[in-house]
Chains A and B, each alone.
Chain A
């Protein structure tokens, strides 16, 4: 009985437990390695932003310095001086024309493929093959796609799409050829955006449509396509920004002629069969790497190109904002 310890009064209650933030761990108390890593993380993150700002700032400075409004409405001319070589109306038209052809060809392919994968997708092995082949198209360098286009459009049966060269062979370089290959460039982002949109549509929307007696294809047309409109718009915008930024295909497949060079007598078709240039090939041709060596013109055209890219980025941002997730990186996958 006496082994019981004498009763001691409980210690005075301490201050109440603090709620909220505890003591912050200060980087000053960290190990050297961690501090170094912290510093490098700040350096890398801010460095990237600074590089981007420097590029846009420098191009903007040069662009405003050299861009005169009449450059946009003047046709380019062959000249040895920078003042005599005209503007870049033809490359602008070329860019617009190629964008239209590329998107027109890519949209049915990509959306059809995405619909089939997301809504039908049987047999499964075929669906997997289709999906991985689109991934392969996405991973193929544009220069390889350009060579592929050249080898196809130089076939005899594709002569109507370009024209016969003087030697009798098919030239294989035209707006149609370049536009067809551009559609391959625009295909993967468009496909991915549409497929992801379709997969995000809740199942009960489809079930409701089926319950109302709609067939699958009617559901697609009346319910699914309208609800993934913003995804398709994002995909198209990403596709356009890839098309207007591509140079390798233009250099190999559009012939890089200074002016639009229609072939044959039919007005519209002749233009499509002919060669030309775009903003990117104009920049390339006028840089010291090409034969033009007119850096002022190159800067001005590159500035216009950069403005287009900026505008397309803003559009993607606008469309994506409604469905942005925590990071706002929803369309990041589409970049690549």
Chain B
């Protein structure tokens, strides 16, 4: 009796319970795909995959969707969401490229160049940057950067040049990309630093002994050895940037507008909307079946890209085991 109390679980039952708990997580992932997929289905049913293409005014299409009844006619499901897809690709792409350059060089700085005292400050500081909530980034963006860009960076002539098409307030591509870069760089720095440290230092010392200067040895030997980790960090940062919703909805100007590079400098100040921020912007209308289905279709697209990135991350991590890098 006492033995039973002290050891309430026989081993095999414990194993089965813990295994069931683990399987619950898998079930949740499957349920997520299924539920989002079911809700997104009407859009795919009526548009096929062409809802990813361009055509018509997206804002008007979504407004029409919102105004339909509980049982909308098939025509209400018409959707061409290219502006938001383009906005997502544009912001994510630019931010990731900027963050890659910034994070690689600042990791080299932290691991190799920084004096010990600065290094001791830099690491917690970067970790803090990674954990600042996105709403605080958004708040700083909308209350500080957007008015600054709107009042001082954009000239009146630039505002007038496009005033018939779109209103330039300062909220737009440039502010979004800058904040997004600041948000994803720390994640990449953390992972790249870890990888740079775990590359055997004798490799680099060998290069230095051959007369290569220390920085070039770092770039040519250590960085090259850590390449898989850099790509893994890139994948992770891309996933984070794709899914950022609140911050982008606050500072992007929230208009389903595709910034056009042919506009010259104005391009950088044009407003946009991404998949994730669009879901936040329209979440009030999710009760309307057509609009709800459109939002779930966007979510499904995000989920799909997250899965693809996750698989890519797994494949990239395989050769990483060589350096005992856990990531």
Contacts and interface: CB of A to CB of B under 8 A. Distances in A.
Do A and B interact with each other, yes or no?
A: yes
Interface of A: 25, 27, 30, 34, 37-38, 40-49, 51-53, 55-56, 58-59, 108-109, 112-113, 115-117, 119-120, 126-127, 129-130, 132-137, 139-145, 147-148, 150-152, 169, 184, 187, 196, 215-218, 220, 241, 244-248, 251-252, 280, 283-284, 287-289, 295, 298-299, 302, 305-306, 309-310, 312-313, 316-317, 325-329, 331-333, 335-336
A184 B28 contact: yes
B29 A283 contact: no
Given A148-B32, A287-B139, A139 B309 contact: yes
Interface of B: 7, 9-11, 14-15, 17-19, 21-26, 28-29, 31-32, 35-36, 38-39, 101-103, 105-106, 108-114, 118, 120-140, 142-144, 182, 185-187, 189-191, 193-194, 197, 213-216, 219, 236, 239-240, 242-246, 249-250, 276, 279-280, 283, 286-287, 295-296, 299, 302-303, 306-307, 309-310, 313-314, 326-327
Contact of A152 (B35, B118, B124, B310): B35
B15 A284 contact: no
A56 to B, nearest CB: 7
A175 to B, nearest CB: 18
Nearest to B32: A148
Contacts of B105: 37, 40-41, 43-45
Nearest to A215: B11
Given A49-B121, A287-B143, A216 B14 contact: yes
B213 A25 contact: yes
A302 B15 CA distance: 44
Contact of A130 (B26, B113, B144, B216): B26
A252 B126 CA distance: 30
Contacts of A289: 138, 142, 249-250
- The 7 lowest CB-CB distance pairs between A and B, nearest first, are A141-B243, A45-B109, A245-B133, A112-B21, A332-B190, A217-B14, A116-B18
A317 B131 CA distance: 13
A135 B186 contact: no
Contacts of B194: 327, 329, 332-333
Nearest to A330: B194
Given A115-B18, A139-B306, A48 B213 contact: no
Contact of B136 (A127, A129, A169, A306): A306
A332 B191 contact: yes
Contact of B144 (A58, A108, A137, A333): A58
Contact of B29 (A136, A241, A329): A136
Contacts of B15: 116, 120, 216-217
Nearest to B133: A245
B129 A52 contact: yes
13 contacts: A48-B129, A51-B182, A59-B140, A112-B17, A134-B25, A136-B307, A152-B35, A283-B136, A287-B138, A305-B135, A306-B132, A329-B197, A333-B327
Most chain B beta-carbon contacts within 10 A, residue among A150, A151, A288, A328: A151
B25 A133 contact: yes
A25 B211 CA distance: 9
B35 A48 contact: no
A41 B108 contact: yes
B133 to A, nearest CB: 3
Nearest to B300: A144
B128 A336 contact: no
Given A41-B113, A144-B36, A287 B7 contact: no
B313 A135 contact: yes
B128 A147 contact: no
Given A56-B128, A116-B18, A184-B28, A216 B11 contact: yes
Given A47-B106, A329-B193, A147 B131 contact: no
Nearest to B243: A141
A116 B21 contact: yes
Contact of B26 (A40, A56, A112, A133): A133
B29 A144 contact: no
A134 B113 CA distance: 36
Most chain A beta-carbon contacts within 10 A, residue among B25, B39, B216: B25
Nearest to B129: A52
A42 B139 contact: no
A236 to B, nearest CB: 14
Contact of B186 (A48, A143, A218, A220): A48
Nearest to B249: A289
Contact of A34 (B109, B182, B197, B216): B216
Nearest to A137: B29
A86 B178 CA distance: 34
A245 B25 contact: no
A31 B202 CA distance: 24
A113 B326 contact: no
Contact of B246 (A150, A248, A316, A332): A248
Contacts of B135: 245, 247, 280, 283-284, 302, 305
Most chain A beta-carbon contacts within 10 A, residue among B11, B22, B112: B22
Contacts of B193: 327, 329, 332
B149 to A, nearest CB: 14
Contacts of A38: 113, 215
Contact of B276 (A109, A141, A313): A141
Given A38-B215, A48-B125, A332-B190, A248 B22 contact: no
Given A130-B22, A135-B313, A251-B246, A288 B143 contact: yes
Contacts of B10: 215, 217
A325 B196 CA distance: 13
Given A34-B213, A59-B140, A313 B126 contact: no
A328 B175 CA distance: 32
